[in-house]
Amino acid sequence: MSTRPFSDAERKPSSLLCVGWLVILLAADGLYYGTQATTGTAIAEDLSEVGWMLSSLLLGSAALHSSVAQPALPAKNQERLPRRRMSILIALILMGPLIVLANVGGIRGQPVNVTVIVGMMAGLSLLLVLRVAFLAQYAQGRAIALAASLREQTDLQKQLTHQATHDPLTGLANRALLHERLESVLGRCSANSSAGLVMLDLDGFKDVNDTLGHPAGDELLVDVAQRLTGRVRDQDLVARLGGDEFALLVEGVDARTLHDYTTRLLDAFTDPFILAHGYSVHVTTSIGTRSVTKPTTPTEALRDADTALYRAKTAGKNQAAFFESPHQV
């Protein structure tokens, strides 16, 4: 369901029916009462009666038209009930009774009940206008409330989608989003094009948790995420897979570029991390890297990069290991 503002030039069918009702009603009243006031006898009385019946039909059609149940939003900064238009509408509605009251012919000498009838007509017309105005105001209020509710629902859906695909601690992509991006990259690349999957694991992270506590460990993870994000390109994806394990998906790189890339990542851990209360923590990282080309699958790429990471850990940590895919030529 969508809503959109409407302009003065844009009229709904129900509004056009109301305009037709008013125009035909005024024409019929003017023809009947005008000729009776000036000549003493109504001319084309049958035509006036047809006009009254037609105006009643248009008014009923306007009230029952489906567009009444689908109010459009008022344009920004537009008045809900323009006073000038309302004044003009009331004046036009009362024109028929006023013609009778201003009769210069034979109606002035009629009994008082004529004046009473005219007064009732004027009162009913005025109540009708006010009723339509109040209904219009209510409909516009409901439409605005509905639009606000739809915006809140859209924002909530975006928030839930973000929570489902991002790590709550660091704000990085999670494993699910990394897997989705891997599938997308593999769908676009050819056998000759390549991307790189880099997996990182912090060396000595357990010691930070044991000595400084888990809050300090969480703060360190957030700082690591920020430092990694600052060292990669805008198009690269940085993800946290869980615990102290991170991953990067790098597109459009060859083996040489990927090697230089991992070297820069190792250098990013040269400076210590300054935590709250002045704690200075120095941690290194072990890196496992795997080139991603067809016919590799996301599951295979993650498994092979993790294998390379394990090799880097067992080889002494603070270094990178590369997995040579059997699919590479």
Q: Which residues are catalytic?
A: 244
Rg for the chain, CA atoms, rounded: 39
CA pair distance 156, 138, nearest whole angstrom: 27
Strands 73-74 and 5-6: parallel
Of the candidates 307, 168, 301, the one whose C-alpha atom is nearest the C-alpha of residue 242 is: 168
Alpha-carbon span 227 to 266, nearest angstrom: 11
Cα distances (Å, whole numbers) of residue 260 to 167, 311, 326:
28, 19, 22
Q: Which two tokens stand for residue 2?
A: 């969508």
* Helix, strand, coil share (%) of the chain residues, nearest 5: 60, 15, 25
Residue 235 CA neighbour count, 13 Å, CB half:
7
The gap from C-alpha 237 to its chain's centroid, in whole angstroms, comes to 25
* Bridge partners of residue 280, in order along the sequence: 274
Residue 247's nearest CA partner among 291, 325, 306 is: 306
DSSP letters along 180-219, please?
HHHHHHHHH--SS--EEEEEEEEETHHHHHHHH-HHHHHH
